[in-house]
A and B are shown apart, each in its own frame.
Chain A
Amino acid sequence: MFKIYRVLVTQSLAETMTYRVTTVLTALFGILFYVIELITGGVYFSFTPTIYGWSFLDYLNLITTANLISYGYQFLFVAAHEDLTDQILSGNLDYSLLRPVNSYWFHACYRVDFPSLVTLLLTGIIEGVILARLHPTPLNLLLYLVAVIVGIAFVFTLNQIMVTLAFWVDGLTALNGLPEDLMSASARPAKIYPRVIQQLFLWVIPSLAITNVPAQFGHNRPTWLLLWTTLVTGLLLVISYVEWQRGLLKYVSAN
């Protein structure tokens, strides 16, 4: 499996190299997006020094972490998900059924998106600077990293679940944008939301927890919520796997 992944990564790189302009532009767009977030945050905090106890630096930490998770997902999985959507809609999965590899992981890891690596690294550096000023303890720093990885896995499963829905519903392309919307809506301090919304997105679909938990570890406010997000992510992973198996059966019978 590792060897296959290495080939896939090499191929992604080759494709990236074929389209250098795209790579540069994609990276630029990624940075632009982040800058816009920064400016918006700057506008908010130009009227007040803190919001629910979050200073501008804490807020920066939050949105940078949210971006880190989002770019991490983009680098590792977004190109594969784009491709998978196409493959499902155009009914081109037959060969996947005929190869002696696990089709779920094969398609999930089919491509990595190198342009996003540039933005991922840049965001990583910025977050490094922010963390250096927030001084998390070594343990909190470690848990911060764990929380970010759980976050990437969470975004992956949400998208995987949405993409696989294409087996049943065609033409619902807007569905694929939903996880992204959810995650960008979650890149805010949980407390700005009314209690009901907070509870819903901290506990049921813990997207708010996914962004807020690592940020809290970053500024030394550890939380047990991390355990919960890990558990939910694991569960979603299982669900997406079962959904994939069901989807293949559906694909086959509607062939």
Chain B
Amino acid sequence: MSSPIISIDHANFSYVTFTKQSGFSGAWHDLFHRQKSTVAAVQDISLQVNRGEILGLLGANGAGKTTLIKLMTGILPANTGDVRLFTDQVPFRKQPAFLQRIGVMLSQKSQLAWDLPALDTLVLLREIYHIPHDQFNNWLAFLTKELAVTPQLHVPVRKLSLGQRIKFELICALIHRPEILFLDEPTIGIDVSSQANIYRFLKQLNHDTQMTIILTSHNTKDIEALAQRVAVVNHGKKIFEGTTTGLISRYATVPILEIVTDGPLTHIPVHVRQVDPTHYEVDATTLATLPIDPRQILSVNRRNSDLDAILTQLFSEEAPKR
């Protein structure tokens, strides 16, 4: 068994914020006394990722996902604990050889030059990462074809749609063929077909090149579509680690089935409760089979089996202790 490509051991990170008061007197007050508070963004997190894995980091806004990504990529140093990539690299040291092996895409931040075509930024990255010309051209042709943005390569970035821009951000992160790809909220704000395109491409990439992919999202679709394993972070702490189905089966414990029928049932069996003429709830605790004629059923859902619902519940339950 080879050693993990990413290994985080009891990492902690906290930062200091200043609270600003509103209004005139508030501004006056801030002039002399600024109120400091320490926020623990990552608390005692341990995590290991193997080569070729796709790991999803789930969490609400401000849960610490992005901070975790920044610890792994070396943007931030861990206060305590240990973060290592490729067994011996400490990310924060930012050794050029290390930076050469990772690719990062941060949503909300852009590395594309606004007034120039994306190609220009990519050419700059070619020089920064010392990529041989022919290798660069072939790989770029492949990437733009797969992501369906070849015609946009020569269009100034400011004239691209958000989806096209995100795809080029992704290409920027991939242009030097990193071994680990970090994606922070990769599909935020883009349409469903672009999302599907990106998912398919990333899956194929992972399959073909064994590229390790770490992605954060609060969009559970991203995670369900891609991740083989998830870690759920809430208020800086890891509260779950495992597969998505594992997550569902662990938290979707209430065995209530929600059934939609094509019309009202003539007879309502025991254990079945009518919500409205075509919606029924079945308490399946003691049942081995469904007490409703399958021919009448349009859909069956286990309540609480939806990832979103589970996460909503999880995030609201685990209140922070301060």
A residues neighboring B (CB under 8 Å): 3-4, 6-8, 11, 14-15, 18-19, 91-92, 94-95, 97-101, 252-255
Contacts and interface: CB of A to CB of B under 8 A. Distances in A.
Given A14-B120, A18-B115, A98 B73 contact: yes
A252 B96 contact: no
Given A4-B128, A11-B120, A253-B16, A98 B115 contact: no
Given A11-B120, A11-B124, A18-B115, A100 B76 contact: no
Contacts of B77: 252
Interface residues of B, number: 31
A14 B127 contact: no
B15 A255 contact: yes
Interface string B91-116: 00010110110101010011101011
Interface of B: 15-16, 67, 70, 73-77, 94, 96-97, 99-100, 102, 104, 106, 109-111, 113, 115-116, 120, 123-125, 127-129, 156
A101 B113 CA distance: 17
A253 B75 CA distance: 9
B109 A92 contact: yes
B76 A252 contact: yes
Given A4-B124, A97-B74, A11 B106 contact: no
- Label chain A's interface by main secondary structure: helix
Given A7-B127, A101-B128, A253-B76, 10 more contacts: A4-B124, A4-B128, A11-B120, A15-B115, A94-B104, A95-B111, A98-B75, A98-B99, A99-B129, A255-B75
B115 A255 contact: no
A16 to B, nearest CB: 10
Interface pairs A-B: 8 shortest CB-CB: A100-B96, A100-B99, A95-B111, A4-B127, A3-B127, A7-B124, A97-B75, A7-B127
B104 A95 contact: yes
Contacts of B67: 255
A94 B99 contact: no
Contacts of B111: 95
A95 B73 CA distance: 10
Contacts of B123: 7
Contacts of A253: 15-16, 76
Contacts of A18: 115-116, 156
Contacts of B115: 15, 18-19
Contact of A15 (B15, B99, B106, B116): B116
A197 to B, nearest CB: 32
A242 B276 CA distance: 70
Contacts of A100: 96-97, 99-100, 128-129
A188 to B, nearest CB: 37
Contacts of A254: 15-16
Nearest to B115: A15
Nearest to B99: A100
17 contacts: A7-B124, A11-B116, A15-B113, A18-B116, A92-B109, A94-B109, A95-B104, A95-B106, A98-B99, A99-B125, A99-B128, A99-B129, A100-B96, A252-B75, A252-B76, A252-B77, A255-B76
A212 to B, nearest CB: 39
A92 B110 contact: yes
B261 to A, nearest CB: 52
Nearest to B104: A98
B199 to A, nearest CB: 24
Contacts of B124: 4, 7-8, 11
A98 B102 contact: yes
Nearest to B103: A98
A111 to B, nearest CB: 9
Contacts of A98: 73-75, 99, 102, 104
A198 to B, nearest CB: 36
Residue in B77, B120, B123, B127 whose Cβ sees the most chain A Cβ within 10 Å: B127
A15 B111 CA distance: 16
Nearest to B76: A252
A161 to B, nearest CB: 24
A18 B96 CA distance: 34
Residue in B73, B77, B102, B124 whose Cβ sees the most chain A Cβ within 10 Å: B124
Contacts of B106: 94-95
Contacts of A8: 124
Nearest to A87: B109
A50 to B, nearest CB: 49
B253 to A, nearest CB: 38
A7 B120 CA distance: 8
A14 B15 contact: no
B96 to A, nearest CB: 4
A104 to B, nearest CB: 13
B43 to A, nearest CB: 17
B73 to A, nearest CB: 6
Contacts of A7: 120, 123-124, 127
B99 A95 contact: no
Contacts of A19: 115
Contacts of A99: 99, 125, 128-129
A97 B127 CA distance: 16
